[in-house]
Amino acid sequence: MSGRTVLITGPTSGIGRATAIALAAAGARLVLAVRDTDKGAALAEELGGKHVVRALDLSDLASVRRFAQGTPELIDTLVNNAGVASSTLQRTSDGFELQLGTNHLGHFLLTSLLLPQIKARVVTVASQAERASRLDLEDLNWQCREFRGGRAYADSKLANLLFTAELDRRLRTAGSPVQAMAAHPGLVVTAIYDDPQRRRRSVWDRLLPLAGQQPDQGALPVLLAITGDLPDAAFTGPRHLMHMRGGAQAIARSTRAKDPELARRLWTASEQLTGHDAAPVPTATAQ
């Protein structure tokens, strides 16, 4: 990775931190997109080298636009890693359901704005939780349905995969050499499961520390998606225990995640919600 610039969202904890550490060790220059710049600065100092820290709140589209305007350099790889999970209905500053707004719409806008500067890959951290999704394009923000936190999270992860598929289709149509990839880290012990809104610990809370792997293992599929010799729109994940633990390889996705019409419709809805027409544009290496 020497001589390459990687922009990663949410790098100060969990899988993002493990990914950043591995990339820096391999010689990459990192642009650390963080909500807490103090934590970002501490990580940059720990990593050494000429890494850059910039403020980004994916739950605020104005913040995403400011970040893109303040990121002038070419980027080899964009890693859409940051994510949230919530058991209760919460909304972003723009009024979106928090998980869809942060995990999908924030990254959708960020990628669209930065695409002219990207040289190699867009890697989006998704999840096999997408298989539990019942994505409703008529009610993406849970204004009509009874809210279910786990289902909303799964919806956001299916959205990540549909976004990757449609982005890849558009890149191929434009003749771009940039690739769009997605990665499933597996079952990982991270702070995303620490939901302060839950009133009591569940069986899941007790099992996770025993069954889950550590972030450095969860980062392996992400690193494969960043550096591996993979086909366009590949989805990577762990090798073992139904793709929940250990190693990294290309894995399958659900039938819905491969639906080109659903991907196209979600893309159109995402443009409308973010107020950004993500028309195909030349990428950095195509110029």
- Confidence category of residue 203, pLDDT binned at 50, 70, 90: very low
- pLDDT by residue (tens digit) across 243-282? 676 889 999 999 999 999 999 999 999 999 999 988 766 6
- What average pLDDT does the segment 179-200 reach? 72
Would you say residue 282 lies in a domain? no
C-beta separation of 184 from 244 below 8 A: no
Q: How far is 9 from 68, CA to CA, in rounded Å?
A: 12
- pLDDT by residue (tens digit) across 132-150? 999 999 999 999 999 999 9
- Confidence category of residue 190, pLDDT binned at 50, 70, 90: low
Would you say residue 199 lies in a domain? yes
Neighbours of 212 (CB within 10 A): 18
- What average pLDDT does the segment 42-56 reach? 96
pLDDT at residue 240 tops 80: no
CATH number for the domain spanning 127: value is 3.40.50.720
pLDDT at residue 196 tops 70: no
| 78: amino acid identity, one letter | L
**b/e map of 52-85 (b: 16 or more CB within 10 Å)?**
ebeebbbbbbebbbebbeebeeebbbbbbbbbbb
The two structure tokens encoding residue 28: 């990459």
Would you say residue 196 lies in a domain? yes
pLDDT of residue 8: 98
Complete DSSP assignment for 100-128:
IIIIIIIHHHHHHHHGGGEEEEEEEE--G
DSSP lists the bridge partners of residue 237 as 249
Q: What is the CA radius of gyration of the chain?
A: 17
- pLDDT by residue (tens digit) across 219-235? 999 999 999 999 999 99
C-beta separation of 155 from 134 below 8 A: yes
Which is more confidently placed, 123 or 204? 123
Number of folded domains in the chain?
A: 1
**Residues carrying an active site annotation:** 153
Would you say residue 124 lies in a domain? yes
pLDDT at residue 10 tops 90: yes
Would you say residue 180 lies in a domain? yes
Which residues constitute the domain of residue 174? 5-277
Complete DSSP assignment for 138-183:
T-TT-SSSPP-HHHHHHHHHHHHHHHHHHHHHHHHHTT---EEEEE
Which is more confidently placed, 274 or 287? 274
Would you say residue 51 lies in a domain? yes
pLDDT of residue 284: 76
Would you say residue 287 lies in a domain? no
Q: How far is 179 from 176, CA to CA, in rounded Å?
A: 8
pLDDT at residue 153 tops 70: yes
Would you say residue 285 lies in a domain? no
Complete DSSP assignment for 178-232:
-EEEEE---SB--GGG--TT-SS--HHHHHHHHHPBPHHHHHHHHHHHHHS---T
